[in-house]
Amino acid sequence: MSRTFILALGIFLTIASSITGLVIIPNWQFKALQPIVKLDGTRYPEPYFGEQAKGREIYINQGCIYCHTQQVRMKGYGADIRRGWGTRRSVPRDYLMDRPHQLGTMRTGPDLASIGARQPSAEWHALHLYNPQITSPGSVMPRFEYFFREVYDGEVIPNDAVKIPRGRQASNATHIVPTDRGRAVIAYLKRLNQSYPLPEANQ
Ligand code: HEC
């Protein structure tokens, strides 16, 4: 056998075994995976609709993934559960509706797989996104103030305005009102919740 043939065969086998192991076998393992019907008759996970779907697009195009993961590791593989990032580990079924998934690899900030369960308050998310220093002094998360309209002293305060706590006002603005984009991101964050106890996540 010529050396060229052995080299070509080696390259072919390397590529073929990678494709088999990384694409074909996982696809075969998970293709039958379906949402689970919960005890209350609803399904988990549900598709993203309306504001949540729009919020997901914004999460992707703003690059939140560069600082946040959405995957809780099992006990014994880090402190994710001890830190309160989830009540159980993440499993493939959690991501059935996520195309593309937002697993992420960087954890400059906390994991957000279950942020909707951990922090359900829309007001908190609004203040935090507008200026992370308000809720989390010392945070290195950038401000996303363009998701909000500022309301100044003396202006009419709309119903959906969120008050900036006294002493935390960086300008004359006293309230913020989420724009469509702000509302969408918050709806998406509130929906992130992997706390339903899936049977396969017990092992
Ligand atoms: C440069 C890195 C960085 C980027 C980009 C970033 N974050 Fe953060 N984020 C952090 C850090 C650090 C924290 C922890 C401190 C804090 O609460 O602000 C955090 C905290 C959070 C929290 C609160 C988590 C908790 O457990 O209390 C949420 C929600 C959040 N980020 C959402 C987002 C969203 C949505 C985006 C994109 C629009 C984003 N982050 C972009 C760094 C980042």
User: Per-residue pLDDT tens for 53-111?
Assistant: 999 999 999 999 999 999 999 988 999 999 999 999 999 999 999 999 999 999 999 99
Q: 194 pLDDT band (50/70/90 cuts)?
A: very high
pLDDT of residue 74: 92
**How many percent of the chain have pLDDT more than 90?**
86
The mean pLDDT value for 115-125 works out to 97
Distance 63 CA to ligand 1 centre (A): 11
Q: CA–CA separation, 61 vs 98, rounded Å?
A: 15
Q: CA–CA separation, 89 vs 72, rounded Å?
A: 5
Q: CA–CA separation, 113 vs 86, rounded Å?
A: 7
Q: CA–CA separation, 80 vs 67, rounded Å?
A: 16
Q: 197 pLDDT band (50/70/90 cuts)?
A: very high
Q: Answer yes or no: are the C-beta atoms of 91 and 200 closer than 8 Å.
A: yes
- The vertex-57 CA angle with 87 and 147, nearest 5°, equals 95
Mean pLDDT of the chain: 94
- Establish whether residue 28 lines the binding site of ligand 1, counting it when its CB lies within 6 angstroms of any ligand atom: no
Would you state the structure tokens that stand for residue 10, as one six-digit string? Answer: 């080696």
The least confident of 1-5, 9-13, 18-22, 109-113 is: 1-5
Separation in Å, CA 48 to CA 16, 72, 93, 155, 189? 35, 21, 15, 36, 12
Among protein residues, the one with the nearest Cα to ligand 1's atom 34 is 64
pLDDT per position as a tens digit, 129-152:
999 999 999 999 999 999 999 999
Distance 42 CA to ligand 1 centre (A): 30
Distance 202 CA to ligand 1 centre (A): 29
pLDDT per position as a tens digit, 51-60:
999 999 999 9
Q: Output the furthest CA–CA distance in the chain (Å, rounded).
A: 87
- Establish whether residue 148 lines the binding site of ligand 1, counting it when its CB lies within 6 angstroms of any ligand atom: no
For residue 1, pLDDT over 80 is answered with: no
For residue 166, pLDDT over 90 is answered with: no
pLDDT of residue 170: 78
Among protein residues, the one with the nearest Cα to ligand 1's atom 13 is 109
- Establish whether residue 121 lines the binding site of ligand 1, counting it when its CB lies within 6 angstroms of any ligand atom: no
Q: CA–CA separation, 49 vs 55, rounded Å?
A: 10
CB count in 10 Å sphere of residue 152: 10
- Establish whether residue 132 lines the binding site of ligand 1, counting it when its CB lies within 6 angstroms of any ligand atom: yes
pLDDT of residue 203: 61
From the CA of 188, give the closest atom in ligand 1. 35
For residue 19, pLDDT over 80 is answered with: yes
The phi, psi pair for 73, rounded to 5°, reads -80, 155
pLDDT of residue 47: 95
